[in-house]
Amino acid sequence: MTDLATPATHVWPPADSTPFVDHPGLLQAHWVGAVAVITLTRPAKRNAMNDPLVHALKSTFEHMPAQAVAAVIHGQGDHFCAGLDLSELQERDAVEGLHHSRMWHTALNAIEYGRVPVVAALHGAVVGGGIELASACHIRVADDSAFFALPEGTRGIFVGGGGSVRIPRLIGASRMADMMFTGRVYNATDAERLGLCHYKVDAGGALAKAIELAQRIGQNAPMTNYALMHALPRIADQTADHGLFTESLIAAITENAPIAKERIRAFLEGRAAKVRAS
């Protein structure tokens, strides 16, 4: 595992580092400690997602090495992701379109419901399928260059990568509909205010902040991270009665882990950090 210095900008990966996953011209993955940094490497096409890139993402997350504690996704060049590769859309019929959308669902589910929490580092265009990809991640960091749009509305199509399920959970169906009806573009400040992203940083700082957060998340008890990724969203979809029951089950399992017992003991013995106002 190569422990690379935290990058200051989205100029990444360093030329002298070796990826542990390499799909040439599509995607690479490098280690920063135990954080897997996944880079979309199609900058000439603004990291637009063609089918091979969707497959590469799915494979990378399905085969995430056991030593990974968290992951980061970002895009090479000036943009995070320009969404679906529109050049692939021209000749597709309805049945092929259905299967294509389901392929995106499988790939983005592999991110959302994978082994490790994923932080998206967003800059430049985060549009169409780019927002769908970002919304499948667990935490989103946007820098001041980021802009968010759903141009599907003006292109005569609809979202197909899970956007109609995930985006309303972040900003509400009504705001999503406005983005698609009117072609509205939000900047990073808007995005933070609306809940499209959790953190906003200066231009060029998204990747470094995302890695910092991923390293911190990776220090959590694994079962806590698992519960946040796999139980919390499902509880949110359940009735209150079922949700409370599921919560009790996952709480009991989580607090039974040796690492939880040790961390509680450390606090009670004055060995753990207190919560302080920020």
Annotated catalytic residues are 132, 152
Minimal distance, residue 83 CB to ligand 1HE, in Å: 3
Q: In what order do the strands lie in the sheet with 21-23?
A: 21-23, 27-32, 35-40, 70-75, 118-122, 139-143, 199-201
Residue closer to ligand 1HE by CB (options 99, 276) is 99
Among 108, 150, 111, CA closest to 131? 150
Minimal distance, residue 189 CB to ligand 1HE, in Å: 19
Minimal distance, residue 45 CB to ligand 1HE, in Å: 4
CA atoms within 13 A on the CB side of 97: 11
Minimal distance, residue 154 CB to ligand 1HE, in Å: 8
Residue 194, phi then psi, degrees to nearest 5: -85, -20
For position 18 contacting ligand 1HE by CB under 6 A, the verdict is no
Q: What is the CA radius of gyration of the chain?
A: 19
Q: Cβ(107)–Cβ(242) under 8 Å?
A: no
Question: Within 10 Å of residue 260's Cβ, how many Cβ atoms?
Answer: 15
Q: Which residue do the tokens 């021209």 mark?
A: 90
CA distance readout (Å), 95 to 91, 92, 165, 219: 12, 8, 21, 44
Across the strands, what pairs with 122?
142
For position 127 contacting ligand 1HE by CB under 6 A, the verdict is yes
Residue 35: strand, helix, or coil: strand
Among 99, 101, 104, CA closest to 136? 104
Please select the residue that binds ligand 1HE; options are 13, 117, 160, 218, rule is CB under 6 A.
160
d(CA 201, CA 199): 7
For position 123 contacting ligand 1HE by CB under 6 A, the verdict is no
For position 46 contacting ligand 1HE by CB under 6 A, the verdict is yes
Minimal distance, residue 124 CB to ligand 1HE, in Å: 7
- Segment contacting ligand 1HE (CB under 6 A): 16-24, 64-72, 112-120, 157-165? 157-165
For position 218 contacting ligand 1HE by CB under 6 A, the verdict is no
Residue closer to ligand 1HE by CB (options 103, 235) is 103
- Segment contacting ligand 1HE (CB under 6 A): 151-159, 208-216, 218-226, 228-236? 151-159
Minimal distance, residue 225 CB to ligand 1HE, in Å: 27
Please select the residue that binds ligand 1HE; options are 21, 86, 203, 232, rule is CB under 6 A.
86
Please select the residue that binds ligand 1HE; options are 2, 17, 51, 155, rule is CB under 6 A.
155
Residue closer to ligand 1HE by CB (options 46, 140) is 46
Residue closer to ligand 1HE by CB (options 93, 241) is 93
Beta strands in 114-222 (DSSP E): 118-122, 125-127, 139-143, 147-149, 186-187, 199-201
Instruction: Copy the structure tokens of residue 163.
Output: 């956007």
Q: How many residues bind ligand 1HE, per CB under 6 A? A: 21
Q: Cβ(41)–Cβ(28) under 8 Å?
A: yes
Site residues (vs ligand 1HE, CB under 6 A): 45-46, 48, 79, 82-87, 104, 125, 127-129, 151-152, 155, 159-161
